[in-house]
Amino acid sequence: MLRAKKMNVDYSKDLGSDTEELKTGIIIENLSVRFPDKNGGDPVEALQNINLEIKPGEFVSLVGPSGCGKTTLLRTIADLQQPTTGTISIGGLTPREIRLQQKFGIVFQNPVLYEWRTVRRNVCMPMEIMGIPKPERTRRVTQMLELVGLYNFGKMHPHELSGGMQQRVGIARALALRPKILLMDEPFSALDEFTKEKLHLDLQRIWSKTKKTIIFVTHSIQEAVFLSDKVVVLSPHPGRISAVVDINLPRPRGLEIKDTMEFNSLVSKVRNSFEGV
Amino acid sequence: MNRVKKVLSSKQIVTLVWVIGLIIVWEIGATVIAQTKRTPEYVLPHISQIVDSVFSDKLVNGSQTATQIVLSNAALTLVRAGIGFIIGSIIGFILALLMNMFLPVEKIAFPYLMMIQMIPILGMAPIILAITKDIDKSRIVIAAILTFYPVATNTLAGFKAVEKAKHELMYSIAAKKKDIYKKLLIPASLPYFFTGLKISAPMAITASILVDTLQGGGGLGCMLSQSLKHAMSIYVFWQIVFFSAIIGILSFYLMSVIEKLVSPYKKVRR
Ligand SMILES: Nc1ncnc2c1ncn2[C@@H]1O[C@H](COP(=O)(O)OP(=O)(O)OP(=O)(O)O)[C@@H](O)[C@H]1O
Ligand SMILES: [Mg+2]
């Protein structure tokens, strides 16, 4: 039995692809999020009248200057923030229903690790809660730590790791869940160029094998163009969508694509749609 | 220069200076008192005399040496203090859980806890004794009362100190309340819980000794007052004072050791 399991080297299966119908398209209509000002001043319009459609299995990046509402949009989709007005529908369900079905995987802007748990047990934690059997958990933890290059650090505690390593633990934790919808908030911001490029390729591979919907927040236009089907540019105060740029580059994309004309003209196109920056 | 400063400010040196200072003050006191007409050993014996008395086999109450008296009575007091401490810790922890789970419980219970805490043990002890009508039970109850408050408040503070982001991770995977407590709140608040234990362990011992003084049924406190009334050697008194102080400090360190053993927590040293 065990042997048969080990012999299974079908990588697509390993990464948790499934054939069940994916109802993970996201429709955002007239969404606004306003934060009341604590000192009685004008409320902050973090997001104003956002309309956006994300197809099932699409890879969408959110870019825009700091404070333009990227994190807020991600959090609202994840049911961590309630909209002031407007609706979000994910495959016909509300974000709350999707959350209760445990279909979200979130990589937070700050990694949010539990410092009393080792790296391995941090990655394991959400799977324990979801009731995934122990052998399967162990297998996935190993697999994901290898993926993010932290296999040898499994027994360490978070405070013994660098910022970039902590970030990668957060990524491994979210991926290990095999979420239908993966929400990533600047997941690679603290990483060096080499690690980042490796993870770009890995993430692209996982995404194409598992058909999950990914929403990816980043400050790097290059990164957004390289990874995405669609780049959404937000502008600040109030947070609005100033442009949606379709990225029709062929897949799978290798690193060499960054040297092509098409790639660079797309990067320029996205950059030019930044407002007032 | 810097080196000297560093050495002088290290923890061990500070402790050493303290101990030496204490001995000097003590010995000056003992010498001064020896010069007065009274026999010094009835008031403030020299430290060497106290140390001697620990090893002396002179019987002080007809059948036991001073050390035997201290140790046999210590068992009586400390076991009760220990039982009370454990009961108090459990109650304190459960109370913290309840207060964290149900806001009304916190709102209602907290003022009462504060009040109980403000009644001096000296006033509370006779009341408890009158209610339980048993010195053993009183010791346990008083130790428990003194223990549960620091444990409850510290643990509650620990629950509340958990960052919002850590809760949001649980929320995002729709964790059940049971799991949130098991995997987040309880482990995160362990250091706070142990802070509570470290505060209350010496208190439970002190309280138990104090209860002893109320009745002649034995125990460290009882011997303390008897020896003060010169019914016994003054050395019994001083031995008990030192012994209690040492046990109090040890109880604190015992909690630290247990914390290191049970908690997977690694202190962040940065
Ligand atoms: N909890 C909150 N309370 C009040 N205002 C908030 C809150 N969260 C965000 N904001 C405000 O909403 C706006 C958008 O914030 P958000 O965190 O979404 O920006 P961001 O695009 O993710 O920025 P960055 O790139 O720096 O992470 C900011 O002006 C911020 O001050
Ligand atoms: Mg952000």
Could you say which DSSP state residue A109 is in? S
Question: Which residues in chain B are closer than 8 Å to A126, comparing Cβ atoms?
Answer: 169, 173
Does A136 share its domain with A198?
no
Q: Does A262 map to a domain?
A: yes
Q: Beta strand pairing status for A213-217 and A26-35?
A: unpaired
> Does the structure show a pLDDT above 50 at B268?
no
pLDDT, residue A177, reads 92
pLDDT band (50, 70, 90) for residue A3: very low
Question: Which residues in chain B are closer than 8 Å to A125, comparing Cβ atoms?
Answer: 183
Q: Does A4 map to a domain?
A: no
> Does the structure show a pLDDT above 80 at B7?
no
Identify the CATH number of the domain in which residue A23 sits.
3.40.50.300
Show the tokens assigned to A120.
């391995």
> Does the structure show a pLDDT above 60 at B112?
yes
Of A123, A147, A178, the residue that ends a domain is: A178
pLDDT, residue B270, reads 34
Q: Is the dihedral of CA B66, B67, B69, B74 positive or negative?
A: positive
Q: Does A43 map to a domain?
A: yes
Does A43 share its domain with A68?
yes
Does A45 share its domain with A65?
yes
Number of domains in chain A: 2
Structural domain of A171: 113-178
Q: Find out whether B198 and B252 touch, Cβ atoms under 8 Å.
A: yes
Cα–Cα distance measured from residue B243 to residue B73, given in angstroms and rounded to the nearest whole number: 11
Q: All domains of chain B, ordered by start, with CATH?
A: 1-44 (no CATH), 45-262 (1.10.3720.10)
pLDDT band (50, 70, 90) for residue B39: low
Could you say which DSSP state residue A92 is in? T
Question: Which residues in chain A are closer than 8 Å to B186, comparing Cβ atoms?
Answer: none
Residue among B166, B172, B188 whose CB faces A99 most closely? B172
Does A25 share its domain with A48?
yes
Cβ < 6 Å from ligand 1: which residues?
A: A 35, 44, 46, 66-72, 109
Q: Does A53 map to a domain?
A: yes
Paired with A184 in beta bridges are A107, A216
pLDDT, residue A2, reads 40
pLDDT, residue A27, reads 94
Does A89 share its domain with A194?
yes
Go through chain A and tell me how many residues it has.
Answer: 277
Does A15 share its domain with A99?
yes
Q: Find out whether B147 and B206 touch, Cβ atoms under 8 Å.
A: no
Which atom of ligand 1 is nearest the CA belonging to A72? 18
Does A73 share its domain with A198?
yes
Q: Does A146 map to a domain?
A: yes
Among the listed ranges A158-167, A207-216, B108-117, which one has the minimum average pLDDT value? B108-117
Does A148 share its domain with A58?
no
Q: Does A277 map to a domain?
A: no
Q: Find out whether B196 and B154 touch, Cβ atoms under 8 Å.
A: yes
> Does the structure show a pLDDT above 80 at B168?
yes
Over residues B170-176, mean pLDDT: 94
pTM of this prediction? Answer: 0.83
Residue among B169, B263, B270 whose CB faces A112 most closely? B169
> Does the structure show a pLDDT above 80 at A261?
yes
Over residues B216-242, mean pLDDT: 77
Question: Which residues in chain B are closer than 8 Å to A104, comparing Cβ atoms?
Answer: 172-173
| DSSP for B231-261, written as a single string | SS-HHHHHHHHHHHHHHHHHHHHHHHHHHHH
> Does the structure show a pLDDT above 60 at A18?
no
The distance of A99 to chain B (nearest Cα, Å) reads 6
> Does the structure show a pLDDT above 90 at B178?
yes
- Pairwise CB contact (< 8 Å): B268 & A159: yes
- Atom 8 of ligand 1, nearest CA residue: A72
Q: Find out whether A61 and A227 touch, Cβ atoms under 8 Å.
A: yes
pLDDT, residue A5, reads 40
Q: Give pLDDT tens digits for A208-236.
A: 888 899 999 999 999 999 999 999 999 98
Choose between A232 and A17: higher pLDDT: A232
Residue among A115, A117, A129 whose CB faces B173 most closely? A129
Among the listed ranges A213-217, B16-20, B46-50, which one has the minimum average pLDDT value? B46-50
Over residues A12-19, mean pLDDT: 46
pLDDT, residue B98, reads 92
Cα–Cα distance measured from residue B176 to residue A168, given in angstroms and rounded to the nearest whole number: 26
pLDDT, residue B152, reads 93
pLDDT, residue B245, reads 87
Of A178, A196, A214, the residue that ends a domain is: A178
pLDDT band (50, 70, 90) for residue A13: very low
Q: Does B178 touch chain A (CB under 8 A)?
A: no
Does A72 share its domain with A50?
yes
Does A223 share its domain with A144?
no
The reply to whether omega before A111 is within 30° of 0 (cis) is no
Q: Does A3 map to a domain?
A: no
pLDDT, residue A253, reads 92
Which atom of ligand 1 is nearest the CA belonging to A38? 4
Over residues B5-30, mean pLDDT: 81
State the average pLDDT for chain A. 88
pLDDT, residue A22, reads 57
Among the listed ranges A15-19, A148-152, B218-222, which one has the minimum average pLDDT value? A15-19
Q: Does A83 map to a domain?
A: yes
Query: Where would I find the beta strands (DSSP E) of chain A?
Result: 26-35, 44-54, 59-63, 85-90, 104-107, 181-185, 213-217, 230-235, 240-246
> Does the structure show a pLDDT above 60 at B75?
yes
Q: Does B164 touch chain A (CB under 8 A)?
A: no
pLDDT, residue A1, reads 37
Does A98 share its domain with A191?
yes
pLDDT, residue A17, reads 46
> Does the structure show a pLDDT above 50 at A12?
no
Does A140 share its domain with A19?
no
pLDDT band (50, 70, 90) for residue B28: confident
Q: Is A192 exposed, middle or buried (0-12, 13-18, 19+ CB in 10 A)?
A: exposed
* Substitution target from B162, B163, B172 for chain A, most A beta carbons within 10 A: B172
User: Considering chain A, what percentage of its residues have pLDDT values greater than 90?
Assistant: 71
Over residues B15-31, mean pLDDT: 85
- Atom 1 of ligand 1, nearest CA residue: A35
Of A178, A201, A216, the residue that ends a domain is: A178
Nearest CA among B61, B26, B56, B39 for reference residue B222: B61
Distance A106 CA to ligand 1 centre (A): 17
- List B residues 225-264 in contact with A (Cβ-Cβ < 8 A): 263-264
